[in-house]
A = this chain, B = another copy of it.
Amino acid sequence: MRKIRVTVWNEFRHEKTYEAVKKVYPKGMHTVIAKALRAQEDMTARTATLDEPEHGLTEAVLAKTDVLIWWGHMAHHEVKDEIVDRVQKRVLNGMGLIPLHSGHMSKPFMRLMGTECNLKWREADEKERLWVVAPNHPIAAGLGEYFELPQEEMYGEFFDIPAPDETVLISWFAGGEVFRSGCCFNRGHGRIFYFRPGHETYRTYYDENVIRVITNAVRWCAPTPDAAVREFGNRKPLEDLG
């Protein structure tokens, strides 16, 4: 079976700007995530960042990407609309998309949701406990009833997204909020999984359960090899999605 080809995209600015972040992710969050993916038997991973030409997301790269992971925050506005068009189109043609954490206000996610994607937030080093509310979902495979992150940024409801097609995880925060933290969406021929954790100052992407959710999500988002999607009329077939 062909491996799932993942591209891990990172804005990669906080890591260069702030000492506290650089200390946790000296080579960027994307490298930590990509390394964890490469340890899986059934996937490959490359990386791409904002400051590369075309943000590293050329037509050629996207044509060889089955699932795109996206971390962005302080520079959402610098992402060129032309690249957003390209990503949106590729998702609608079957590519998986996994926006992480502050990616809730990234241009590609907002474009695909159609809503403001706003939420409440607080930085207070507080505990997050993520509860599984869809225990038979493939993205919950291997998790217990919940898992914890000792310190995270808080995100709280109301999270202004369309009602997810499936909600897999709901977070509890020590400060008093709840949040739909693992949200599945089908859009066009593609699949999207929004996953909440991952503030840049914490070691979240080194966490075993976080990586498990991300790798499960990669498998869930990946296009089915012989999916009906290619047959559909008004749409060009996915390039090189063998």
- Spell out A's residues near B (CB within 8 Å): 88, 92, 94, 111-116, 118, 120, 129, 131-138, 140-145, 156-160, 162-163, 165-167, 170-173, 176-178, 180, 185-191, 223-229, 231-235
This protein's copies in its complex: 4
A190 proximity list for chain B (CB < 8 A): 136
CB distance from A93 to the nearest CB of B (A): 10
CB distance from A153 to the nearest CB of B (A): 16
Cα separation A141 to B231 with both chains bound (whole Å): 10
Cα separation A170 to B131 with both chains bound (whole Å): 12
**Partner pick for A158 among B114, B129, B156, B232, CB 8 A cutoff:** B232
Cα separation A156 to B137 with both chains bound (whole Å): 19
Contacting pair B171 A178 (CB below 8 A) = yes
Contacting pair B187 A233 (CB below 8 A) = no
CB distance from A131 to the nearest CB of B (A): 5
A233 proximity list for chain B (CB < 8 A): 120, 145
By beta carbon, the residue of chain B nearest A181 is B178
**Partner pick for A135 among B136, B166, B228, CB 8 A cutoff:** B228
A116 proximity list for chain B (CB < 8 A): 92, 188, 234-235
Contacting pair A118 B235 (CB below 8 A) = yes
Cα separation A187 to B229 with both chains bound (whole Å): 26
Nearest first, the 6 A-B pairs at minimum CB distance are A112-B114, A140-B228, A135-B228, A114-B114, A141-B224, A136-B189
Which of A111, A162, A173 neighbours the largest number of chain B CB atoms within 10 Å of its CB? Answer: A162
